[in-house]
Structure 1
């Protein structure tokens, strides 16, 4: 029986434990994927902690994981003969709360073919961060000549947003700790230290103004963006729903197969980089601890070999 990682109560990373699951069977339009790598995202930690609990009773055990890369080992019935996805195809894609596992069933329409040149670990971290970054930039109408401020630019979404904005012809300013400033310069961004005085430091780098801002941390990042960007509809946040309601900024991110394919194509052309830190599937607790430090450069990945 395949192994998955889940939890039977909310709590610290230690609540994560192996689960033995039945081998899932793909239905029409679906594929069974043998997972090789799965991305770990901050939302996984929030779910594990119980941050989203409501009035409805919770059901356990619960599983985690929204992105993966692996190999198709079975196809559901009625698969079109001309489909690009077939048994033996290496793929990557996104799912909902099941990617921390040795195998999973997904709809084929959400899959992209993994280029041979893209390592498994990188492929496992591209779907969620890549789709979020690309769809966010699209919603903010980022284009050539724009000055874009990316908050938390050294993380997974930030790393890809910096590079994708550059591909669109924008000038990028990225906030990060000083330890990541050289890293951001290599990605093509002008780095700036977050914290008190951030607004003035950004203005010094962009005296003619900032056209759009992407917030990946919430709180003061949105307030700073409001002081710098004239059109608040060009301020987007992936995390701060309160700011959306209070200030009228956009809630951005989301999934788009076109966005995923664009990211995959750029990675295949060696025009995107995504540093990863890996942990074996059975050590998901350590992976969560790393993410919860808030200082991961790129992505944390669970490997399944």
Structure 2
């Protein structure tokens, strides 16, 4: 049996029985999914703020066991514990050949959990290129953080970094925490900004050594070299708060609009950089989790079986019955659904 969490329409999710994928093609691997994290993209899809194909199986942050392999597969074998890189790239289009595989021209029709069936299911089939073996001591739930961590590492690769930069990370969600740890691994100490009282208390004890958390950016205004905005709603504040030569990295898929003043950007030599998905950082992210450089066990605050998905979304402030989200109802950092 292959139970799967499907998206029908905004706020309408259903647990259905889907056919088990057919035997894998020569270079494909069939994975028995064991853990999948609820991502901010999933929340956006449920709210109707991020477009997904009606009927698609959600989910893309996953780990599991190899169930079957195609006859040409050499990297893994049945029984191997693996994590899945869900960012498909063909390797041949102009974007792939110019080292931008995160914007592969085939992405629109091959995006896992958006346009193509994802991993909130018992089984998922993918190409051998996109599975990586994980260390024996790493749980499936911990390994599911590999994909979001790889996105954070890619984001930092887009910047001009020095460890002495005064830094703020806006948003204490999973991506905000992973950015803090990715920065800490490079010697950074900074401040996280979070307005949700629930997450403020939760994340205070999880921050890297030396990092602080604050409910307001007032104390750090006009003194920053780097702002990482994981919310998509802090652009206006960030640009006012950056020193000359400062950088803003924005990764949140938020529809909030803001006004830009080109003269301000030019006169103060400010940079705005966007980043999505990962480019060549998945293996590094897996290694950091395998070696404990990232406290994945602590960051995964809740594990629930797949059939308790409503409770999982509720822990993140999403009431599927009332069709509303409340930041004040957030009681978790990372929720992982197991199967």
Structure 2 residue 172 is matched with structure 1 residue 172: no
The DSSP-based 3-state class of the residue aligned with 1:63 is: coil
Once the two structures are superposed, the pairs formed by residues 46-61 of structure 1 within 5 Å of their partners are 46-53=44-51, 60-61=54-55
Q: Shift of the alpha carbon at 1:93?
A: 1.9
Aligned residue number for residue 103 of structure 1: 123
In structure 1, the residue matched to 2:25 is: 27
Q: Aligned residue for 1:7?
A: 7
Aligned partner (choices 278, 281, 285) of residue 310 of structure 2: 285
Cα contact 1:184–1:191 (8 A) shared by 2? no
CA distance in 1, matches of 2:244, 2:131: 35
Pair 127,186 (structure 1): closer, same or farther in 2 beyond 3 Å? closer
Distance 1:231 1:94 in 2: 37
Deviates more, 1:139-148 or 1:112-121: 139-148
Q: 2:39 aligns to what? A: 41
Q: What is the aligned-residue RMSD (CA, Å)? A: 2.6
Matching of residue 215 in structure 1 with residue 229 in structure 2 = yes
**Is the aligned partner of 1:87 residue 2:107?**
no
Q: Could you give the per-residue CA deviations for residues 213-266 of structure 1, whole angstroms, max 9, x where no partner exists? A: 1111122x222211222467721111246669957722213123x422222212
Q: Measure the CA separation in 1 of the matches of 2:237 and 2:6.
A: 38
Alpha-carbon distance change, 73 to 93 in structure 1, aligned in 2, over 3 angstroms? same
Contact 2:177/2:207 (CA < 8 Å) preserved in 1?
no
- SS of the residue corresponding to residue 335 of structure 2 reads strand
1:175–1:192 CA contact under 8 A, matched in 2 = yes
The farther-off stretch of 269-278 and 32-41 is: 269-278
Does structure 1 conserve the Cα–Cα contact (< 8 Å) formed by 2:225 and 2:245?
Answer: no
Please state how far the C-alpha of 1:180 moved relative to its aligned partner: 3.8
Contact between 1:100 and 1:281, CA under 8 Å: does it hold in 2? yes
CA contact (8 A) 2:315 2:332 kept: no
Per the alignment, do residues 230 and 241 of structure 1 end up closer, same or farther by CA in structure 2, a change over 3 Å counting? farther
**What is the TM-score normalised by the length of structure 2?**
0.75
Distance in 2 (CA, whole Å) between partners of 1:296 and 1:110 is 32
Bigger proportion of residues as helix: 1
Q: Matched residue pairs, number?
A: 283
How much has 1:186 moved relative to structure 2?
A: 4.8
| Deviations, residues 111-157 of structure 1 (Å, cap 9, x unaligned) | 22211122221112x1332122111111123343223211113x211
Report the CA distance between 1:185 and its aligned residue. Answer: 4.4
In 1, the alpha carbon distance for the partners of 2:42 and 2:245 equals 29
Unmatched tracts of structure 2, length 5 or more: 87-111, 262-270, 319-325
2:303 maps to 1:265: no
Equivalence map 1:153-164=2 (5 Å): 153=172, 155-164=173-182
Cα-to-partner distance string for 1:242-292 (whole Å, 9 max, x where unaligned)? 669957722213123x42222221222222113221111112222222223
If asked which structure has higher relative contact order (CA below 8 Å, sep 6+), I would say: 1
1:210 offset after TM fit, Å? 1.9
